[in-house]
Amino acid sequence: MNIKIIALGKLKEKFLKDGVEEFKKRLIPYATFDIIEIQPVEIKDEHLIGKALDEEADKILSYIKSGSYVITLEIDGKMLSSENFAEKISEITNSGISEIIFVIGSSYGLSPKISKRANFKLSLSKMTFLHQFARLILVEQIYRAFKIIKGETYHK
Q: Supply the CATH number for residue 51's domain.
A: 3.40.1280.10
| 137 lies in some domain | yes
Give whole-number Cα distances, 89 to 9, 125, 131, 141, 150, in Å: 25, 18, 22, 11, 12
Domains held by the chain: number: 1
Cα–Cα distance, 60 to 114 (Å, whole number) = 8
Give Cα 125 to chain centroid, integer Å.
Answer: 14
| 155 lies in some domain | no
Which structural domain range is residue 54 located in? 2-150
| 33 lies in some domain | yes
| 156 lies in some domain | no
Cα–Cα distance, 32 to 24 (Å, whole number) = 9
Strands 99-104 and 32-38, sheet pairing: unpaired
Query: In a structure prediction context, what are the per-residue pLDDT tens digits for the chain, which is 156 residues long?
Result: 999 999 999 999 999 999 999 999 999 999 999 999 999 988 888 888 999 999 999 999 999 999 999 999 999 999 999 999 999 999 999 999 999 999 999 888 899 999 999 999 999 999 888 888 999 999 999 999 999 999 998 766
Cα–Cα distance, 21 to 55 (Å, whole number) = 29
| 10 lies in some domain | yes
Residues 6+ apart with CB under 8 A from 17: 11
How many CB atoms are closer than 10 A to CB 129? 14
